[in-house]
Structure 1
Amino acid sequence: MPHLSRLTSLALAIALLGATPLLQADQTPTATDVTSEKAPLPLDELRTFAEVMDRIKSAYVEPVSDKTLLENAIKGMLSNLDPHSAYLEPEAFLELQESTSGEFGGLGIEVGTEDGFIKVISPIDDTPASAAGIQPGDLIVKIDDQPTKGLSMMEAVEKMRGKAGSPIVLTLVREGGKPFDVELKRAVIKVKSVKSQMLDDGYGYVRITQFQVNTGEEVGKALDKLRKDNGKKLSGLVLDLRNNPGGVLQAAVEVTDHFLKSGLIVYTEGRIANSELRFNADPADASEGVPLVVLINGGSASASEIVAGALQDHKRGVLMGTDSFGKGSVQTVLPLNNDRALKLTTALYFTPNGRSIQAQGIVPDIEVARAKVTREQDEEGIKEADLQGHLGNGNGGADKLRSKGEKPVRLQDGDYQLSQALNLLKGLNITRN
């Protein structure tokens, strides 16, 4: 997409919450990019800082090195800005770069902070966390019996990472209930960004678990494969963004562009040079204008909300599910000269109609809460066509006998929200035709 070349002097990317942070953009900002004016140094505050550091070194019960004190001071500066800004030491910076490539070690769980506790934003598909039944909104109150109250998000993530196969116990609180333990084994997390399949004749399904560098390309391939599998243009499509914690800004723009022919996708506003960007759709439409339902929930954050918000503003599809997470800020990775980096919130993003998602989220067009689906046994009785000597149809139609055997289990059969999305698509096609 030609308009993406505008990401030149600013490393703009949307942060993922927790264990899989954002990807550094192709070009590192220079000092002139991120500093518009040099403000005078606050000499009184610097004298106070130096005095506090000197007092700690001379009076603290144990010796503390200058390096430790200064690094703690840097961490303090970042931690008191917002939940998504952080100082990344070499190991954390390396993990950040690895995570958006789609493979990293840990539990496969995205986390944030709430009231001093670690809160689950979403488990990632096909990981120990999702297999253990961990849900968005769960509070992690202990990690291996150590309370998480007061831990920073980065500290909690570090404790949950570890060697593949090693055990870990998380103590969770769900919806204000009693604490309970979940035993897991760490694994090498290989995240497949895009999954797709046919739900029914003519109706396709695309799920995006996380926005990685190549997600836009993968969605394009998935749409092409669904079209070929169907043998003709699709009758409808479900785009599933539930429990998708976000990812790379450029990937969100590319995915949205597959469903639009023109118009604004997203724009950003910030203080530093080149932080005010606008991304527009190009004329190509990989989805061929197919009727679209987009599924979102409280675990849909960041880049997911960019896609959902743009499609909703353009009335390109129907949003179904529950309110999204509400992360509308942009993070920039600013590498330092010692294998460290700053992950700094530098801008807010807005939907085409100028909506800020920050702390509000996207409200679906049709609210459908998560529910368990239980299918009763269909005890079909004898039909007219089963009776001996019954009359024929008269119009030449074949007899419709009682069905025998079990029906195959489909993806939508155990997923109430997905089944409602599919029913809506079928209804839209009936009225359109």
Structure 2
Amino acid sequence: MVKTPLRALLSTLTLALAIPLSAQAAPANAPADTNALPIDSLRLFAEAFERIKQNYVKEVSDQQLIQYAIQGMVSNLDPHSSYLSPDDFRDLQESTSGEFGGLGIEVDQQDGLIRVVSPIDDTPAQKAGIKAGDMIIKVDGQAVSTMNVNDAINLMRGKPGSKVTLTLMREGVTQPIVKVLERAVIRVKSVKYKLYDDSYGYVRITQFQEDSGDEVVRALKRLKDDAKSKGLRGVVLDLRNNPGGVLQAAVEVAGAFLDGGLVVYTQGRGEDEGRADFDAKPGDLTGGVPLVVLINGGSASASEIVAGALQDRKRGVILGEPSFGKGSVQTIMPLGSDSAIKLTTALYFTPNGRSIQAEGITPDIRVNDVKVTPVAEQGVSIKEADLKGHLNNAGGNVQNNDQSISNLIESDYPLFESFNLLKALSLAKR
């Protein structure tokens, strides 16, 4: 069987397209057709394809060259558009379902390096102390400056139990940081919750998966049930280091705290037809109790959608550090039966029309993640309970509660301040 060179095929395609176009003459002052195929550029591509095919030092298949061409075409558009090989496409589907293999780290590309958007809770990356903003410069000794994001991710993934060495640069640290991590099967439970001081709810979302909205609904119901004695007085929604995920899940999560109305809208290329609105369902599941939303520099994409909606709709107070600023929409477009392209097709806007892209969400109250160390007491502190023969409390001894807000001041200062604010809002509402 004789194979027809790609150049000959494109020449045939050019001729076929030219025949119907030449049948009807265009007016001399007619504007150029922006949808017409760039025939000269396609000829140039075909010539380059043939030269590589015939002259490259090693034999390379047609399929490889086409994949490389698509990859280069898409990845140069912006940091978030990319070609998804069959393996990449499968990994993406696994990650949105909540189980995948690797280190548990969300990354993007910046200045030729791979930047950590955020580590995922309870994963090898988080346990090894990798932080949002770290720049990965090497994976197993291989420099990432010549790789795209997908290549770097593929290097970091592997068989559970195997090890990988990451070399990192961190702001404020002069020497590279070397971390040896053991790969694991990453099973991410996207929603965690606790009740503090018997009446203040805490909901943490690690990333937005397909079922995150339903999980938040169940968490709020359980918190309300557990707080029956005093009633649920407020909720802290923790979105720190949440890299985003499924858009519809973000809409459902925001909707759990809103009584209907606009959550976010996307705007594509068109002025009118390019806009799509995403609304919450009627009914605030918390009954309108005070809400504090906790964010930081690792809060990205879907996290910023939720924070922006609750801020614009004046439903909650945003506390913490400015968010990451990823306000672009990526659409997965399958190619054939097993690969796809991830293409940026629109931008996110908050209900008030603010673009999240490269701006992020600015918190209403700025609280940095700092380490709080108690000041050593000077001398001896004497209290009533230390006096001989003191009267006992008529109500009995108050038992220590592991879920006490006061225990957070040293372990998680921003969360401690979130609960302090929540208490103030709750008292003001009485």
Q: Which amino acid aligns with 2:219?
A: A
Residue in structure 2 matching 1:100, options 89, 96, 99 = 96
- Structure 2 residue 196 is the aligned partner of structure 1 residue 199: yes
**Match of residue 9 from structure 1:** none
5 Å matches for 1:309-328? 309-328=308-327
Checking the alignment, whether the CA contact within 8 Å between 2:139 and 2:155 is kept in structure 1 is: yes
Aligned equivalents of 1:318, 1:175: Cα separation in 2: 29
Instruction: Summarize the Cα distance change of 1:47–1:353 in structure 2 as closer, same or farther, 3 Å threshold.
Output: same
What residue is the counterpart of 1:265 in the other structure?
Answer: 263
Shift of 1:409: 7.4
Q: Which residue of 2 aligns with 1:20?
A: none
- Identity score, percent: 59
SS at match of 2:298: coil
User: Could you tell me whether the CA contact under 8 Å between 1:199 and 1:412 is conserved in 2?
Assistant: no
Amino acid at match of 2:122: D
* Aligned counterpart, 1:382: 382
Residue among 47, 50, 53 paired with 1:51: 47
Higher mean alpha-carbon deviation, 171-180 vs 271-280, is at 271-280
How many residue pairs align between the two structures?
391
1:89 aligns with 2:78: no
Q: Which residue of 2 aligns with 1:74?
A: 70
Q: Matches of 1:307 and 1:405 in 2, distance apart?
A: 37
Cα distance, 1:235 vs structure 2:
1.0
- Whole-Å Cα distance in 1 between the matches of residues 367 and 349 of structure 2? 25
Distance (whole Å) between structure 1 residues aligned to residue 231 and residue 245 of structure 2: 30
**Shift of residue 388, structure 1, vs aligned partner:** 4.7
Q: What displacement does 1:199 show? A: 2.1
Q: How many angstroms apart in 2 are the aligned matches of 1:405 and 1:230?
A: 17
| Separation in structure 1 between the aligned mates of residue 266 and residue 402 of structure 2, nearest angstrom | 47
Whether 1:112 aligns to 2:108 is yes
Gap regions ≥5 residues in structure 2: 1-32
Work out the CA distance in 1 between the residues paired with 2:375 and 2:289: 33
What's the CA shift for 1:85?
A: 1.0
**C-alpha deviation, 1:84, in angstroms:** 1.1
**Contact 2:195 2:403 (8 Å CA) reproduced:** no
Given that 1:103 and 1:188 are in contact with CA atoms closer than 8 Å, whether structure 2 keeps it comes out as: yes
Q: Distance in 1 between matches of 2:68 and 2:385?
A: 80
- Look up the equivalent residue of 2:41 and give its one-letter code: E
Cα deviation code 1:246-273 (max 9, x no counterpart) = 0111000000011111321111111379
Query: In the alignment, is the contact (CA less than 8 A) between 2:196 and 2:403 conserved in 1?
Result: no
Gaps of 5+ in 1: 1-36
Distance 1:160 1:385 in 2: 57
**Contact 1:110–1:124 (CA<8 Å) still a contact in 2?**
yes
| More displaced stretch, 119-128 vs 139-148 | 139-148
Alignment correspondent of 1:223: 220
- Alpha-carbon distance, 1:241 to partner: 0.2
Contact 1:275 1:346 in 2 (8 A): no
- Which of 37, 42, 50 lines up with 1:41 in the alignment? 37
Contact 1:385 1:400 in 2 (8 A): no
- The answer to whether residue 302 in structure 2 is matched with residue 303 in structure 1 is yes
Counterpart secondary structure, 1:346: strand
Give 2:72's aligned amino acid.
G
CA 1:236–1:63 in structure 2 vs 1: closer, same or farther (change >3 Å)?
same
What letter corresponds to residue 224 of structure 1 in structure 2? K
Indicate conservation of the 8 Å contact 2:79/2:110, yes or no: no
Distance 2:250 2:177 in 1: 36
Shift of 1:58: 2.5
1:15-414 mapped onto 2 (5 Å cutoff) = 39-176=35-172, 177-231=174-228, 232-271=230-269, 275-375=274-374, 381-384=381-384, 386-388=386-388, 398=393, 408=402, 410=404, 412-413=408-409, 414=411
User: Quick one: distance in 2 between partners of 1:248 and 1:407?
Assistant: 36
TM-score for the superposition, normalised by structure 2 = 0.86
Q: Deviations over 1:196-224 (max 9, x none)?
A: 00122311100000001110010010001
2:26 is matched with which residue? none
SS at match of 2:92: helix
With 72-81 and 270-279 compared, the bigger mean Cα shift is at 270-279
* Cα gap change, 1:218 to 1:400, in 2 (>3 Å): closer
1:28 — aligned with what?
Answer: none
* CA root-mean-square deviation: 2.4
CA-CA distance at 1:389 after TM superposition: 6.3
**Contact persistence 2:193–2:203 (CA under 8 A):** yes
Q: Where does residue 5 of structure 2 map in the other structure?
A: none
Separation of aligned partners in 2, 1:292 and 1:65:
57
Instruction: Give secondary structure in 2 for the equivalent of 1:100.
Output: helix
Give the match for residue 424 of structure 2. Answer: 427
Are residues 52 and 236 of structure 1, via their aligned partners in 2, closer, same or farther at CA, if it must alter by over 3 Å?
same
Contact 2:300–2:326 (Cα < 8 Å) also in 1:
yes
Q: Displacement, 1:377?
A: 7.2
Measure, in 1, the Cα distance between the counterparts of 2:363 and 2:305: 13
Q: TM-score, normalised by structure 1?
A: 0.85
> How far apart, CA to CA, are the structure 2 residues paired with 1:159 and 1:304?
27
Q: Give deviations 1:75-127, integer Å, cap 9, x for gaps.
A: 11101111111111111111111111100000000001111001100000000
